[in-house]
Structures are given as C-alpha cells and as structure tokens.
Structure 1
Amino acid sequence: MSLSLPKSVSIIEVGPRDGLQNEKQHLPTDAKIELVRRLAAAGLKEIEVTSFTHPRWIPNLADAEDVVRGTADLPITAFALIPNRRGLDRALSCGTAGATFVLSASDAHNQANLNRPTAASLVELLQLDGDARQAGITTRISISVAFGCPFSGPVAPEHLAGIVGRFAEAGATRIGLCDTIGIAHPAQVHAVSAMLRQRFPDIDFELHLHDTRGQALANTLAGLQAGITAFDSAVGGLGGCPYAPGATGNVATEDVVAMLTAMGIQTGIDETALLEAAAHLAAWRDRPLDSATWRRAAAAAVSCTAGAAAPEGQV
C-alpha cells in the first residue's frame, strides 16, 4: 500500500498546559519551568506552557505569569491558552509570545468550559485574535470537541466549517481541530480534515488528539494522509479536561515522535532528550506515564540494571 505522507511535521507540545491542568498533584513552579527547558532542549520549538484561565477554575496553573517569565529566554514560541479578554490582558502584561484562543464546537461544552454559548465566545475571540496579532503575538485557534461532545453528541462537519469560516474571514491562519474526549476514529478524522483543507486552503490546520479509545496514533496517521502537518501532543501522555467527563490524556509526544521517525518523517526532536524530559515528570508523578514509548524505555532500563547486578551466569 502506498501512503501519501509529508516529509516533515511540526509538533506543538501541550503537556505543561493541557497535561498539568488536570493532574491531582501540583507541580511546583520551578519544576514546571525545568520541564519546559527540557522539552526545548529536546528540540521542540512551540510549547504551550500555561493557561491564563482564572486560578479558581484551573488552580494547577495559577502561576502562569511566573512560568512565562521563567521561560522567556528559551528559543521557543511559548504559547498560553487564553479564553477571554482578562486572559489576554494577563498574557500581554508578562510578555507572552504565543496565544491559543479556545472555544468549543458545541454550546453544551462551551457553557461548561467557558460559561457562555459558543456564539458569544466566537464574537469575543474574533476581536481578541485580531488584537493579539496586532500586538505581535503569534496566535492560533483551538476548537474543542470538534469531533464529538460529551454532552450533546456528534458535531456536524458543516457546523464546524461555519466556525472555521468566521475565523478565516477575520484573518486567522492557524486552527486546531481538537478531539477533546478521544471519540474520533480515523475515517472521521480524514474526512473532516480533508474537507476543511479543501474548503479553506489558506488555513494551516492542526490536530489535537486524545487517546481515550486508544486510537490517537491511528488518527494521527489519518490526519497525515489528509494533509495535516502539525499536531499537538503531550509529554508522557498527560492530559484530560475538567469539563470533558471520561476524557483521558493527550497522545504522548514520545509515541508520536517514535512513530513518525520510524516512518521516515522528520520532526526535529531528539528522542533521547525527550525521554529525559519524560523522566522529569515520572520522578514527580504518583502513577506511571501514559506512554508506550516511556514504558518500553523504563522497562529496558530496569532490565539493564538487573542484568548488571546479577551474578555471573545468572543473566
């Protein structure tokens, strides 16, 4: 079978934001900054480092300003998720380089996540995106539950295209399609991605995939075949959404990079350094990382240690 695949892709690391926001434990600010530094050292050029959501709703990311300032010297575009005007004001005040504006494809999820219907968020974000670009900030739009909502079910592709169209008309250039609850399947991802790329050729579409049903890598391949060349992922497979019941983590950055590398697709990411960043997380977390690549590496390390300590003839 002949696959039509790109020679290279961009990986946007979202672990420090989407990954940490839903963790039971609180990673200290210094450790967050160190995680971002390790991810940058692995070759990641775009990293979503935090969220300017009200600390009452996402207490794990209450230190957003400190994280942005603590990573400002790195050779990356540090993105922050921004849901509203107050969030943008906070981001501008501390010199945030990149903004991810978020709204949901369904009213039910948008109401739960942002306390307003989708139409209200759309009107506000159209203005915020323009203001941020005018201020010199790199922006992107993330459309949550683009493939299905935990409250209202399937999202019609034409409805999704209508939201994309409003942003395209306003000058947005990067739009992420988010499988927030990991409900999408490869045929759906391919069909929706191909349709939107054909209808909006000037938009750079990105995929944000969760692995709730174990289909995130398959959906990544489907996106690649549809012409998508930019993907969100989270180190260690961290993630989940407080307002998406049942959602599990993002597709693991290590797993995506390992698959793409094996397929001869360039990512610019050092797999060894990436696993070192995952080790930083694993040393803190009270349960294993959700990454097949990490589990394999950890098992190999244990095996090597056991072999080195075994008496002669017992290995």
Structure 2
Amino acid sequence: MNLPKKVRITEVGPRDGLQNEPINLPTAEKINLIKNLVQAGVKEIEATSFVHPKWTPNLADAEEVLEAVKDLPATLFALVPNARGYERAIKSGVHGVTFVLSATDSHSRKNLNRTTQDSITELKDLVARAKSDGFKIRASLSTVFGCPFEGNPGLDRILQVVDQLVNNGFERIGLCDTIGIAGPAQVYDWVTKIRKEFTGIDFELHFHDTYGRGLANVIAGLHAGIVAFDSSVGGLGGCPYAPGATGNISSEDLVDMLHNMGIETGIQIDGLIRASDALSREFQKPMDSQIWKVRKSGSAVK
C-alpha cells in the first residue's frame, strides 16, 4: 500500500467530545484531560469552543480552561463560529482558531443561524484578522459527505464552498463527516478530486463512527493522500444539531491502527488509555473505543 510515514492527529475530545455529553465535565477535570493528552504525546488539541454558552453550556468555562493549559507544550485550538466568538478567543491565550461553517444551508441555519454564504462572508474578514493577530487557523467544514436535513450535498457544492474558503485565505481545511454517513468509496473519490482541484491546501479529515465505517474511511483518506485527521479520546462526541450522529472516531483506535500499519503519530496508546480511564470514571460509563474495551476486559491482547 502507498502509505505515508507519519500522520498528524488533532485531538478534538476536549471540545467536540464534551460539548454534547449529558454530564458536564467539571472544569478541573477538563484541565486534567488536556494535561493527560499532552503527556500522551498529543501535539494539537482542540481545547474548547467560543460558541455562546447558551448553545454549548458544557464549554462555558472556556477562558478558565485555557488559562490553566495555555503554557503546555502543545498547540491549542478553540472553535470559533463568528466575530463575537473571535473577540473572546483573542483574550484567552489560545494558540489557534478553528473557524466552523456548514456545507449545507439547512445545517448552517440549525447550527449557526445563518446560511453557508453568510458564514463565508463573515469569515473572510476574520481570517485576515486572525493571520494579522498571529493565530494558526483552520476551517472546519461540516456535513461535507452528508447532511441530516438535505442528504448528500453533492461534490459540486463542496468544491464551490472550498473554492471560496481558499480564496478567503484558508490554507488548512477540515472536511467533516458530521453524521458519520460517508463510506470509503465516497471518501476516496471525493477527496482525490478535491485535492486535485486545490493543490497546496492542507486538507484534514474528521470522521464520526455512526455506521462503524470511521477507520475504513481513514484508510480511504490515506490512499487519497490525506496525512491529517481529527479524533476524540474515548470515541466521545456528537453534534447537537445533527440528529443521530454518534461519537468521533476514537483516538486510541486510530493511533493503534496507524501504528499497526507502520505509520508514526508521536502519540502513546497507554497515555490515551489513562485519559479515557479518567473520563470513564467521571461519566460513569464505558468508553466507545475498541482498544479501551480490550484493555479493560483484562485480555492479554495488547
């Protein structure tokens, strides 16, 4: 197989993983989670969100969390949906911002109360400002492979949105399977065509595991030339505005599979397991990670 030697993983558990949990993780435990992830070797973490606390109450302590972890040896991103969120971000000590938008108007209205085009228009000025302010930036484009309200948006729609993001100055763009509907054939076909159309752009893939195809989609992405993926410790995650969406692909499972394939990540499985152990105790439930379940079963398989 034609595979890369190394892959970049952005850990999104502290943001995407926690935002929709029925139990709010205490601030001190959020801080410990990020510290545990850094200790495991994670170099990029989406640490929190600057969405209005009314919509994501689980992340209302964003400033307090960032104040406690901003000096750790990792790049900390925060999700930012609009200008108001950006104003909070610049005061927080965060290192980078993930600007979020949806590929479909229906999801965009549910999630951000505006159309896709409205988001693109607002983000144009914010991207220029963020670069001037010295932030690392990336775009996170939701519902790329399927929308809970509109179904398949079509590749042409995605190409049009990506084209506008590139013209607005984004050089790093996440293609997100928000509801976990994608399959390997679609991922390989679409990503290959998108990368051919936009050479020089650092595309990332963000998969949810609703239908159990998350890791298969990672392999399809690798074959299509992708070397950067989002994942969530313990397989936590879900979007409050994407009915039926389950958690993200598990960081433990992703790292284990990549290491098994001879691909470096710089992340230690044992450290991720310890982070998931702490989450399991706090949430009083097992983690949605195959590797975690194997380890907790007492199996000799390592």
- TM-score (norm: length of structure 1): 0.94
- 1:48 is matched with which residue: 46, 65, 70? 46
1:74 aligns with 2:69: no
2:138 is matched with: 140
Could you tell me how far apart the structure 1 residues matched to 2:28 and 2:175 are?
31
Could you tell me how far apart the structure 2 residues matched to 1:290 and 1:156 are?
30
Q: CA deviation at 1:96?
A: 1.4
Could you tell me how far apart the structure 2 residues matched to 1:236 and 1:294 are?
7
1:20 is matched with: 18
Q: How many residues align?
A: 301
1:209 is matched with: 207
- 1:90 is matched with which residue: 88, 91, 94? 88
Q: CA deviation at 1:273?
A: 1.1
Could you tell me how far apart the structure 2 residues matched to 1:172 and 1:122 are?
11
Could you tell me how far apart the structure 2 residues matched to 1:241 and 1:50 are?
14
Equivalent residue letter for 2:271: A
Could you tell me how far apart the structure 2 residues matched to 1:28 and 1:99 are?
23
- How is 1:29-178 mapped onto 2 (pairs within 5 angstroms)? 29-178=27-176
- 2:294 is matched with which residue: 272, 293, 296? 296
Could you tell me how far apart the structure 2 residues matched to 1:286 and 1:108 are?
35
Q: CA deviation at 1:246?
A: 0.2
2:204 aligns to what SS in structure 1?
strand
Deviations 1:150-197 (A, max 9, x none): 001101111101111112122211000000000000000111111111
Which 5+ residue runs of structure 2 have no aligned equivalent?
A: none
Could you tell me how far apart the structure 2 residues matched to 1:289 and 1:278 are?
7
Point out the structure with max Rg over C-alpha.
1
Which 5+ residue runs of structure 1 have no aligned equivalent?
A: 305-315
**Structure 1 stretch displaced more, 152-161 or 175-184:** 152-161
Equivalent residue letter for 1:145: T
2:93 aligns to what SS in structure 1?
coil
Could you tell me how far apart the structure 2 residues matched to 1:163 and 1:262 are?
35
1:300 aligns to what SS in structure 2?
coil
Q: CA deviation at 1:134?
A: 1.0
Q: CA deviation at 1:286?
A: 2.4
1:309 is matched with: none
2:247 is matched with: 249
RMSD (Å) for aligned C-alpha atoms: 1.1
Seq. identity, %? 54
Q: CA deviation at 1:295?
A: 0.3
- TM-score (norm: length of structure 2): 0.98
Could you tell me how far apart the structure 2 residues matched to 1:130 and 1:14 are?
24
* Greater than 4 Å deviation, 4+ residue runs: none
Equivalent residue letter for 1:72: K
1:283 aligns to what SS in structure 2?
helix
1:205 aligns to what SS in structure 2?
strand
1:180 is matched with: 178
Could you tell me how far apart the structure 1 residues matched to 2:47 and 2:150 are?
30
Q: CA deviation at 1:290?
A: 0.5
Deviations 1:200-226 (A, max 9, x none): 111000000000000000000000000
